Amino acid sequence: MKKKFVSNSQESVRMFKNDLFEALSKVHFLVPVFIFMPVIFYCIYRYFFIAELPGLTFFGLFFVALFVWTFVEYVMHRFVFHYAPPDKPWAQRMHFIFHGVHHDYPSDAKRLVLPPSVSIPLATGFFFLFKGMLPVDYIWGFFPGFILGYLIYDETHYAIHHFNFKGNIWKKIKQHHMLHHYQDADKGYGVSSPLWDKVFDSDFIKK
């Protein structure tokens, strides 16, 4: 297997000739928090004070959504971000823009969380998808849990690459993702949780 290029420095690589596109491809790791926390609070407000639905139902929707996020995270990472068939140059280019650049420059702090140019359209699409699937107004209990799951994923991803963990659970999560980067990129697609790697047999054999 041909060894792929990996830079362990903090350097970044230019992806676009256009300065605006290049700027939109980079983001500080706290930006998703500032964008999506108000969305979470707004949804909760809509659920309790406008829809006036039961609190117990809210917690059920919220935690189911957190669980659903872990599955979406796995599917997106495995089948979308790693879609790069060698006979399709356009797919190779899209793979590099959305994810391949991170594998080449895993310590680039500005490309560790999804930029708003990607996260906002994705979040909007998922909102309307779930809104169409759920009973009326249930989206206001489900969506904040889903978005919180996304934020946990994004911030965990940043922390994995830039923080040294002392807790055993966090060490195992970091080990899982580092194996994805430095041992086999065709395994270990779960970032915030290895659950679905175990379910779909894409986990590593860890000592």
Q: Is residue 2 part of a domain?
A: no
- In this prediction, residues 133-141 reach a mean pLDDT of 97
What pLDDT, on the 0 to 100 scale, is given for residue 25? 86
Residue 19 located in a structural domain: no
- Distance (Å) of CA 160 to CA 31, 45, 69, 126, 178: 17, 32, 19, 26, 8
Whether residue 207 lies inside any domain: the answer is no
Residue 204's pLDDT is: 87
Inside any domain, residue 103: yes
How many Å apart are CA 145 and CA 157, to the nearest integer? Answer: 18
Within-domain flag for 132: yes
Tell me whether residue 155 is in a domain: yes
- Counted domains in the chain: 1
Sign of CA dihedral 21, 23, 26, 29: negative
The pLDDT of residue 24: 85
Amino acid found at 114: L
Confidence band of 48 (pLDDT split at 50, 70, 90): very high
State the DSSP string of 136-193: TTTHHHHHHHHHHHHHHHHHHHHHHHH----SHHHHHHHHHHHHHHHT-TTS---SS-
Q: Residue 169 falls within a domain, yes or no?
A: yes
**6 inside domain:** no
**Residues of the domain holding 124:** 28-199
